[in-house]
Amino acid sequence: MTECESMLKELEEKATRLASAAKAAKAPGATEREISDCKMIEQEYMGLHKRTKAMIDDRGSDADKKSLARLELPTVH
């Protein structure tokens, strides 16, 4: 597995965590903790997405670029 593929896998996992956290934060009766956790995970995702994009732009394959394009930046709030 290349470094780019590894970063993409990590980004996919973070996207899954973010989707779960967003669902919990938007649920009726969500606690402040769930909402703040969601915001924190969103910030982590955005930072990882930025680093991954920079790496792929620099030395990624076309397949890496297509994989990254499928992982859009989320809009949670």
**Phi/psi class of residue 74: alpha, beta or left (left: φ > 0; alpha: ψ in -120 to 50)?**
beta
Domain that holds residue 31: 3-70
Question: Residue 75: inside a domain, yes or no?
Answer: no
State how many domains the chain has. Answer: 1
Helix axis angle, 62-70 to 32-59, nearest 10°? 160
pTM: 0.86
Question: Residue 48: inside a domain, yes or no?
Answer: yes
Digit-coded pLDDT (tens) for 41-55: 999 999 999 999 999
Digit-coded pLDDT (tens) for 10-63: 999 999 999 999 999 999 999 999 999 999 999 999 999 999 999 999 998 999
Distances (CA, A) of 21 to 2, 12, 38: 29, 14, 5
Indicate the DSSP class of residue 74: P
Residue with tokens 């709030």: 77
Question: Residue 76: inside a domain, yes or no?
Answer: no
Question: Residue 64: inside a domain, yes or no?
Answer: yes
Could you tell me the two tokens for 32?
A: 């402040």
Could you tell me the two tokens for 41?
A: 């995970």
Question: Residue 77: inside a domain, yes or no?
Answer: no
